Structures are given as C-alpha cells and as structure tokens.
A and B are shown apart, each in its own frame.
Chain A
Amino acid sequence: MYRARTVLALAVVAGLSTGALAATQVIHQQGRAFSEESVTVTKGGAITFLNDDTIPHNIMSTSKGNEFNLGSQPPGASTDVTFKETGDVAVICAIHPRMKMTVKVVD
C-alpha cells in the first residue's frame, strides 16, 4: 500500500504571539497508520492531521498541557493542532489502538 510521506510544505504566517515563520508538517493516516512515529515541533507550532484513510479516525491526546480531541473525523478531514507546552505528546486514534505517535514539542 502506498504510504504517503509528508510532502506538504506550508509557509505559515502565524497569527500567534510569536508571529514567527514555521513549517507545518502533515500527519497522514492511510491504512490505519500515522505516517510518522515521531515528529518535532517548536512550542507554539502546529501539526496538520489529515484523515486520508478510507474510514473515520478520532485523533486525540491526553498528554498534560497539550490535550486535544478531534472527535470522529471522516475521510478528507484536515485539522491543525497547535502545541503550547514543551514535552512529549502521545497522540493516538481512540478508535484504532495500533495508531500511536509522539509529537515532541521543543523550545
């Protein structure tokens, strides 16, 4: 099965407090798998979660300071998540326990 790699380069002019330029990585979900096991993002930076699979996914994290829950998202849903606290964020699909990855949020 073709595994999409992250090939989406986003030039971001952030409306956040830093106003810094940053690259946003896209995490794909084809074949009930995240396209990356681990990604690093600068504090205040965003990751795009794109459901390019054929079924719904429920991407979320309960890691302290970076909690989020995208709910059940149909194929085609694309959502940015901005991480505010440094540390390792365990990201899962609540529906599919084999889907797990880490977002490393650094200063």
Chain B
Amino acid sequence: MMPRSLTARSLSLGTALALIVGFSSAGLGAALVGETKQVTLQQKGPSGTDALKALYRRPATIPFPKDNAYTPEKAALGKKLYFDTRLSVSMAQSCASCHSPSFGWGDGLAVGVGNGMNKLGRHSPTIVNAAWGEIFMWDGRLATLEDQALGPIQAAGEMNMPLDHLMQRLSGIPDYKPLFEAAFPREGMTPKTLAKAIATYERTVVSERAPFDAWIDGDEKAISEEAKRGFALFNGKAQCMTCHEGWNFTNDGFQDIGLPSKDVGRGEFAPGVIKMQHAFKTPGLREITRRAPFMHDGSLATLEQVIDHYDSGGVDRPSRSDLMRPLGLTAQEKSDLVAFLKTLTSNLTPTAAPVLPR
C-alpha cells in the first residue's frame, strides 16, 4: 500500500492527524476498515452549574409523529383501549395491568406477569414520556410506539391475543364503533387505528413538573443542598449523564451495565456486536421513586442499591460499556445522588380510570 498524505484543518479540533499507512483489515463483500488513529481532542463539555442546568429544561410541547398527529378523539379512544382488559385473550389484563398509573406507569414488580399469571423475563418499563422515545422495548426491537402497542397484545406470554380475534371481539362491542369513526373517519376499526389510538394516549402520559424542574427554572429553595450536590455528582464524578442525559434523563442508548444476568438483551438483534451483548436501553429517570424495583431484570430493590451497583462498576466482561468502571463514591456522595434522584418525582395528578364501552 502506498502512504496517503493528508492536510488536516479543523476549526473545532485543532488536531493534526497522523499519516495513514494503509488498511489494517479487509474482507470480501464488506467495506474496508482502515487503521484507527487516536487524535487529541479539545473537549469542551458544559461547565458550571448554569450551563449544566440549561441541558435539563423541560420541552414546551409533546412531539407527535406526522403520520399520527394528536386529536382529542384519538387520545380518548386510546385511553379506553389502554385500560380495557378485553384486549387480552383472558379478558383479565389490559395495557394498564403492567403499565399502571398507580406505580409510575410500571407495575411495581421485579418482572412483569403475563398470560396465565406466568412471570416474564424482564421488568415492565414505565410508559412515562414515551412520546420522546427513539426506539422501544428494553432490547429496542420495535421502532415506533404504534408498533410497541401491538407487541404485548399479541405476544403469547403476555396478552396472547391474535389481532384478528381482537378486532372481532371489539366489533362485538357496539359502543366502540362510533369512537373509532370519530377518531379515524373513513378508516374505521383496524389493528392500525387501534395501535394509533393507544400510542396517541400513551404520548399524553408525561411526567409533571417535579421539584427539580422548579430548581432548573431558578427556585433555589425547590431542592435541598444535598440534592444540588447530587446533581453535580450526577454530571461529574459519577458520570450518570453520559447515558441519562437531557430533561427525560435518557439518550435511549444501549449499554451493558454489568448486571450479572444471562439475558443478552439488544445482543439478540446484533449478534456480532460485542458491546450489544447484555445491553439494554437506558431508561429515563422521571418519577423514579415510584418505579421500584429497578433495572431491566428488577434485581435491585432500592435506589441505594442502584448507586452501589454503579459504584462497583458491575461485572467486568467484554460487552460491558466502556463507561462502566468503579467510581469510588463516598457514603455522603451516594446519599447526595439518591437525594438528587428523589427530586425527579412529581406530584402526579391521579389518573381517572375510564368508563369502558359495552
């Protein structure tokens, strides 16, 4: 291979790239990956409390996709469907059974319980702030909230309800027809409109203003000094914000955080990608104190245990995120972090259970 000369000029980096001599690997039927060089970066992350706080400001509006814009009719229909146990084959489980407003829109159990009261493999995730989700399920196997809505309904272990059976059953409930007609004129009652209605309702489930938001907006008395120190640790020594970033405290990324579970998570869909083995989607942290137990497997009962896990660095294996390492947190620092996390819980307005069509 001939050497390649290059002239680097970068406004942001001010780095000079070393000469690339050639390609280190080559394979038929694939792109060629060259040798990786390490360049010096001039990192300039936000510094100072005010700059950090600006990253956590709540959005003013809920995002709805263009192909499923919000209407009150869709949301009202979606709410009825969400709470309707007739969406499961047993007529005993609704979406709200596992994603209940009584438990921060989860179920308060270590792992979910599905059809026939059988335990599922993973913790039921909250649906709070799902409107901002980039990808769905712990392993990211579904791309949209509409797809997600139909997943557990059909899953044999969960609501076990084939869609044709479901639509037949709903057709036999006279009061549903006008609700579908109002929400989806000329489209009627189909799995697609059912999914759109449920997803629309789910997008309206948003964490309300918490003490943390009041502090972000300038009320210094809204949270304790302990919690403020916790915020600094969250963004500093503990590096929580590398994954739990932004106002909803997640970038929807997949990380193996070193929990000793055999579940490969995202790895099922990315078998050749080392870092996706045992990787699960980073959950948001809003309403966190209502959502115990924690983690994808529900294995940690308290926030203190969660902090201890991160402090330990977890199981060191090839798939473990490069961001996981022992943190060396003191008892006071751990306590400060928990105090901060507690400021993310709002005084949720009670959700009224809907009267269902008969």
Q: Which of A's residues lie within 8 Å of B, judged by CB?
A: 2, 4-5, 7-15, 24, 26, 28, 30, 32, 46, 50, 52, 54-56, 58, 60-61, 65-84, 89, 94-98
Interface presence of B327 (CB below 8 A): no
Interface presence of B217 (CB below 8 A): no
Distance of A15 Cα from B4 Cα, bound (Å): 8
Q: Do A82 and B23 touch across chains, with their CB atoms under 8 A apart? A: yes
Which residues from A are CB-within-8-Å of B353?
Answer: none
Interface presence of B140 (CB below 8 A): yes
Minimum-distance CB pairs A-B, first 3 = A80-B34, A15-B1, A15-B2
Interface presence of B351 (CB below 8 A): no
Q: Do B13 and A52 touch across chains, with their CB atoms under 8 A apart? A: yes
Distance of A52 Cα from B38 Cα, bound (Å): 10
Task: Known A7-B9, A78-B36; judge A14-B273 contact (CB<8 A).
Answer: no
Task: Known A56-B322, A82-B23; judge A72-B10 contact (CB<8 A).
Answer: no
Given A46, A52, A54, A84, which contacts B34 in the complex, CB threshold below 8 Å? A46
Given A7, A55, A67, which contacts B31 in the complex, CB threshold below 8 Å? A67
Please name 13 pairs of A and B residues whose Cβ atoms are closer than 8 Å in the assembled complex, sorted by A. Answer: A8-B17, A15-B1, A50-B13, A52-B13, A54-B43, A73-B36, A75-B41, A76-B39, A89-B31, A95-B255, A96-B251, A97-B140, A98-B251
Which residues from A are CB-within-8-Å of B44?
Answer: 2
Which residues from A are CB-within-8-Å of B3?
Answer: 13, 15
Q: Which of A30, A61, A80, A96 has the most CB of B within 10 A?
A: A80
Distance of A42 Cα from B33 Cα, bound (Å): 16
Task: Known A50-B39, A71-B275, A95-B255; judge A4-B4 contact (CB<8 A).
Answer: no
Residue of A nearest to B25 (CB): A68
Distance of A26 Cα from B11 Cα, bound (Å): 13
Residue of B nearest to A67 (CB): B30
Known: A15-B1, A52-B13, A77-B36. 19 other contacts (CB 8 A): A5-B11, A10-B6, A12-B6, A32-B245, A56-B321, A65-B30, A69-B272, A71-B274, A72-B274, A72-B322, A74-B38, A75-B41, A76-B40, A77-B37, A81-B34, A95-B253, A97-B252, A97-B254, A98-B134
Interface presence of B163 (CB below 8 A): no
Given B4, B10, B17, B34, which contacts A13 in the complex, CB threshold below 8 Å? B4
Q: Do B29 and A65 touch across chains, with their CB atoms under 8 A apart? A: yes
- Interface of chain A, main secondary structure: loop
| Per-position binary interface string of chain B over residues 202-245, scored 1 when its CB falls under 8 Å from any chain A CB and 0 otherwise | 00000000000000000000000000000000000000001001
Interface presence of B173 (CB below 8 A): no
Task: Known A7-B10, A76-B38; judge A94-B22 contact (CB<8 A).
Answer: no
Task: Known A75-B43, A95-B254; judge A2-B12 contact (CB<8 A).
Answer: yes
Q: Output the least CB separation between B48 and chain A (Å).
A: 15
Which residues from B are CB-within-8-Å of A72?
Answer: 274-275, 321-322
Which residues from B are CB-within-8-Å of A77?
Answer: 36-39
Which residues from A are CB-within-8-Å of B43?
Answer: 54, 75
Interface presence of B135 (CB below 8 A): yes
Q: Do A94 and B10 touch across chains, with their CB atoms under 8 A apart? A: no
Interface presence of B323 (CB below 8 A): yes
Distance of A89 Cα from B279 Cα, bound (Å): 25
Distance of A68 Cα from B39 Cα, bound (Å): 21
Q: Do A58 and B31 touch across chains, with their CB atoms under 8 A apart? A: no
B1-60: which residues lie under 8 A (CB-CB) from chain A? 1-13, 17, 20, 22-23, 29-41, 43-45
Distance of A28 Cα from B273 Cα, bound (Å): 22
Residue of A nearest to B269 (CB): A94
Task: Known A80-B34, A82-B34; judge A8-B4 contact (CB<8 A).
Answer: no
Q: Do B322 and A81 touch across chains, with their CB atoms under 8 A apart? A: no
Q: Do A95 and B275 touch across chains, with their CB atoms under 8 A apart? A: yes
Task: Known A13-B5, A97-B252; judge A82-B10 contact (CB<8 A).
Answer: no
Q: Do B33 and A70 touch across chains, with their CB atoms under 8 A apart? A: yes
Distance of A15 Cα from B17 Cα, bound (Å): 18
